[in-house]
Structure 1
């Protein structure tokens, strides 16, 4: 019978979830990570002034349901909580340059009906994890470094729960949750406290009959505390107080919110005064809280305001990173990295810094053939982000670093006392730059005795990896041979003419140069004591100027020195095969009609 073999040609590009925190390094602006969940893998990226840099990719054996960051009391960095759709959970950490599993296990219930809404995950300020995946209960997970997952269920008999969040009361021993549910009398907002001894919820306060389409809760950090309730036409702030005093309930509505369906949100300030919101039409909004402080040190919300920031891809997840930079993760279109700018008129708008291609979801596709190569034409994306895309199998290139230099005429990779190329020599029209490769950064640095005041015709190391400390540079004036030990030698053409062409057999130190109509064959050497030497083996004057030359190994055998070179002359339109080391011409084919 026929057998088919299937393999993924492209990894998933949709963004399901994303979080921002200090995963790969201790807390600080220089160690901020953007962590993106895509189907069955997680991409960890480092936020840098040059943009997002890939750190690692974490494969997950299952479909990711949700992710979150948690930080223990003794931890200097965040750990990553991953929950799959089969209710397997893992807590991952980044240690010594690799991802390690701190704890993992199944948290699935053997009884109970799965909730109609997506799995809800909430994390308390002291590390208690709450997961609502089954009707009638909430699973509480207690975990400390080096221990197994301890979890228990708490009865939760509320129908049609839309959202579920922990409230930041400022007290590590108060486990207060807020949730939206509806019954026969309408939709309600309720605060309940979890009693850890009895393992049950006790009602703290309740706001009955909120907007019928309320669907999102945004916890406001301490000392303001409370929650924001988002609906399609209004925003409601409810403090965590169980009294109806001044500032306990603050409603807000404006024309920007007419028939708005919110998709995601992210906090901007640690104080909780600003939030960015995204809706299902791709609009980006800023929600601002006007905070007042009483004489007793209590904070209250006096006013809510919402401003329009611009239009983005339809967001499924949004993360405020830092310095006005926001990540827009999309399932229906391309993901984006944007920056909030403030023009002279005081308004705020968004500018796209970078776009990350997403070919999903693919609604339809057809195979076509162009120039003998099959390719796919896909109907990708949806709604306003729908596109037609042409996809072919090939080689892709990722940009790791870039430096703006005008007038580049040559570029030479250098591997100096290293296993990989660690320098790049860049020749401009009138000078040379040496760029050091450090991770994913390029830095202009001096290197040995390289002449940076003239353009470089050739630069590279000689004699293979065993002598990677020997460097050759050829400029129009001279040949420079140098080593990492500090020694150097130079050589100049005897006819006083500038060097116009160069060919090098680096493995054996053979250097062929042309100075107008004269060809010089030189041999570079390194003795047992590390001494350097450039020897002139032969020179020959030809009847015309040299147009180009190349030194090659016979039969492409690079274990032996080259035995001939090929050169071409101007005006006569002729090519000569020249024998080494005596520079004797052994063949001279002509090309009628010119090159």
Structure 2
């Protein structure tokens, strides 16, 4: 037996961050150290834009910026990099090792790696070996040494008997330095004004204005890195919670904070414990982790699937169909919803990002159930007693066909039917159609416009086909068939002669009928498989894949494209419909349950559907003038987490 181990989620903790001109001399970039890689963002108006990822073969111990990033690893290797905008690639300017034959290096020991670069870029200082500098003083002290080319000179200044909790020393640009301890911030030497952002283990961000001694307080994630970018924009990197992009304010907001959160980056670290919860769908278990530390502790629900973000919801009963229409065939965006019920049709128009019901629109028959409607050269409306062709520019009826007396139209296709453009450059023309038949359980490929049968494909599924679709993924034309038992079959079609070829494969979506709908998100094609347990079908590396959706009992789906939400979907349930958008397909989806305490252990009892967790809460005792820890044991419901 062999085991294949691979990461499904990249490291999300932030150790440090720097800024500089990396992608362009005119652009400011944020480079975030995430242990074994660097994420690069470009500072734009209102936030950040992702630029690239730099993988590192090692664990980054220190990172600085000098024309490009200067990296030091825990094994004492270093590299200096630059970016070639013309060739779109990273160049290695210098690399080497800091290991020395004279001193022994212990890579596994708890050694604090400290690095610093001279502001004038003359020298780099690193703390990687112990015992090189002799110091007989046992108390914590600060000393200053002159730097020469290859050696350190004699001590020229010292400050002894400091607070034992002193951990941070920072140079003041105008002269002097700050010493930061758990209870005190000390300024030495020059008396010039400057501003400092200081974060602590309780998630408090303080704006310290020198020489003024009344700092402004606000709350952030517990920081491991604070980097001022520009125009009041600050990056807060965190190991214990989510990293943030914040914008400082001179006056408090409605919550009383002196900042507004611009963007948040999810972080799973540090994971103290986890448990696995089984779900209704086989092979789709979810993991609940004890993540974070100090006041940023959370439970994180991790699952593999597609997240749905709901932007609006309308409750309606008796809904039998819904369609989105553009104001004209050539329009890019939709603005009309045709909503069908058993005995009537309602029309909703999008006005200023809100839906308003209209009494009359383009001579649409509202007194009967609508079976189908779509944008063609005109607009086609099919009801139970007529078929209407409407000019959407003039909103007038072009042609109408009425059913004979005592008859009604019951369906708008033959079990299931689809037409797909044979040439993507000419979307108005197709040379074939595909029809699914109930009685014979066949798929017929028909020639257009003669409707002669080109090919017949026998279906081996015991259920009947409910939906068929032709869709092109990565240059390959697929035939997808949704069945009444929750399965989806797919074949490969030749785009010239429509011959069915390639291997036949099956996805099991749910237990009820599957209705297929194609849509685009961020310029990429997807197919939504609506069922009791819906999924999204997509292509990656020329293979069709299927991802679960975090919603249930979807009747069918329509694409609804607006300027504000170009990738939105209308998701129809038995109780109404939701205007939604999908999250990134190719990633784990994480839901956060804030605890404001650090979770340490978790276990799950399946019989009672309960979770048991133990937590630690850190508080500052004003009377004892020290930090104390309170321990709790909690029982939570595994669905509501209450």
Band the TM-score falls in, shorter-chain normalisation: 0.5 to 0.7
SS at structure 2 position matched to 1:90: strand
Match of 1:34 in 2: 30
- Whether the aligned pair in 2 keeps the contact of 1:188 and 1:206 (CA below 8 Å) is no
**CA distance in structure 1 between the partners assigned to 2:414 and 2:380 by the alignment:** 7
Match of 1:101 in 2: 91
Give the superposition deviation at 1:206.
Answer: 0.6
Label 1:476 to 1:280 Cα distance change in 2 as closer, same or farther (>3 A).
same
Is 1:83 paired with 2:49?
no
- Whether the aligned pair in 2 keeps the contact of 1:504 and 1:551 (CA below 8 Å) is no
- Whether the aligned pair in 1 keeps the contact of 2:419 and 2:434 (CA below 8 Å) is no
Is 1:360 paired with 2:269?
yes
Match of 2:55 in 1: 59
Tell me which of the two structures has the higher relative contact order, counting C-alpha pairs closer than 8 angstroms and 6 or more residues apart. Answer: 2
Give the superposition deviation at 1:378.
Answer: 1.4
**CA distance in structure 2 between the partners assigned to 1:564 and 1:23 by the alignment:** 55
Match of 1:235 in 2: 185
Superposition map of 1:59-458 within 5 A: 59-71=55-67, 79-96=68-85, 98-111=88-101, 112-114=103-105, 117-135=111-129, 157-159=132-134, 183-184=136-137, 186-196=139-149, 199-203=150-154, 205-213=156-164, 214-221=166-173, 224-239=174-189, 247=190, 273-290=194-211, 305-343=213-251, 349-372=258-281, 373-395=284-306, 410=324, 425=334, 429-430=348-349
Match of 2:16 in 1: 17
- Whether the aligned pair in 1 keeps the contact of 2:24 and 2:85 (CA below 8 Å) is no
**CA distance in structure 2 between the partners assigned to 1:519 and 1:582 by the alignment:** 22
Tell me whether 83-92 or 544-553 shows the greater mean CA deviation.
544-553
Tell me whether 225-234 or 56-65 shows the greater mean CA deviation.
225-234
**CA distance in structure 1 between the partners assigned to 2:416 and 2:257 by the alignment:** 64
SS at structure 2 position matched to 1:384: helix
Label 1:563 to 1:368 Cα distance change in 2 as closer, same or farther (>3 A).
closer
Give the superposition deviation at 1:358.
Answer: 1.5
Q: Deviations over 1:420-447 (max 9, x none)?
A: xx9655558546899xxxxxxxxxxxxx
- Whether the aligned pair in 2 keeps the contact of 1:192 and 1:202 (CA below 8 Å) is yes
Label 1:210 to 1:325 Cα distance change in 2 as closer, same or farther (>3 A).
farther
Label 1:337 to 1:379 Cα distance change in 2 as closer, same or farther (>3 A).
same
**CA distance in structure 1 between the partners assigned to 2:125 and 2:383 by the alignment:** 77
**CA distance in structure 2 between the partners assigned to 1:476 and 1:38 by the alignment:** 56
Superposition map of 1:402-551 within 5 A: 410=324, 425=334, 429-430=348-349, 477=362, 503=373, 512-514=380-382, 517-519=385-387, 539=401, 541=403, 549=412
Q: Deviations over 1:322-341 (max 9, x none)?
A: 33332221111222233333
- Whether the aligned pair in 1 keeps the contact of 2:145 and 2:153 (CA below 8 Å) is yes
Label 1:564 to 1:384 Cα distance change in 2 as closer, same or farther (>3 A).
closer
Label 1:564 to 1:542 Cα distance change in 2 as closer, same or farther (>3 A).
farther
- Whether the aligned pair in 2 keeps the contact of 1:366 and 1:378 (CA below 8 Å) is yes
Q: Deviations over 1:110-141 (max 9, x none)?
A: 3324596422222223333414143379xxxx
Label 1:8 to 1:395 Cα distance change in 2 as closer, same or farther (>3 A).
farther
Give the superposition deviation at 1:345.
Answer: 11
**CA distance in structure 1 between the partners assigned to 2:435 and 2:130 by the alignment:** 85
- Whether the aligned pair in 2 keeps the contact of 1:119 and 1:131 (CA below 8 Å) is no
Give the superposition deviation at 1:368.
Answer: 2.0
Match of 2:491 in 1: none
SS at structure 1 position matched to 2:63: strand
SS at structure 1 position matched to 2:147: strand
Number of residue pairs matched by the alignment: 401
Label 1:22 to 1:511 Cα distance change in 2 as closer, same or farther (>3 A).
same
Give the superposition deviation at 1:211.
Answer: 0.9
**CA distance in structure 2 between the partners assigned to 1:411 and 1:207 by the alignment:** 77
- Whether the aligned pair in 1 keeps the contact of 2:196 and 2:208 (CA below 8 Å) is yes
Q: Deviations over 1:326-362 (max 9, x none)?
A: 2221111222233333337999733434332212211
SS at structure 2 position matched to 1:20: strand
Is 1:49 paired with 2:45?
yes
Match of 2:626 in 1: none
**CA distance in structure 1 between the partners assigned to 2:325 and 2:75 by the alignment:** 52
**CA distance in structure 1 between the partners assigned to 2:58 and 2:175 by the alignment:** 36
Label 1:117 to 1:86 Cα distance change in 2 as closer, same or farther (>3 A).
closer
Q: Deviations over 1:235-293 (max 9, x none)?
A: 33334xxxxxxx4xx7xxxxxxxxxxxxxxxxxxxx97101011122221122213xxx
**CA distance in structure 1 between the partners assigned to 2:42 and 2:260 by the alignment:** 21
**5+ residue gaps, structure 2:** 315-321, 338-347, 392-397, 423-430, 438-446, 452-573, 575-642
**5+ residue gaps, structure 1:** 72-78, 138-156, 160-181, 240-246, 251-270, 291-303, 417-421, 435-453, 457-474, 479-492, 524-535, 567-578, 584-594
- Whether the aligned pair in 2 keeps the contact of 1:538 and 1:581 (CA below 8 Å) is no
TM score, norm. by length of structure 2: 0.51
Q: Which has the larger radius of gyration?
A: 1
**CA distance in structure 2 between the partners assigned to 1:59 and 1:238 by the alignment:** 40
**CA distance in structure 2 between the partners assigned to 1:366 and 1:564 by the alignment:** 47
Give the superposition deviation at 1:80.
Answer: 1.5
TM score, norm. by length of structure 1: 0.55
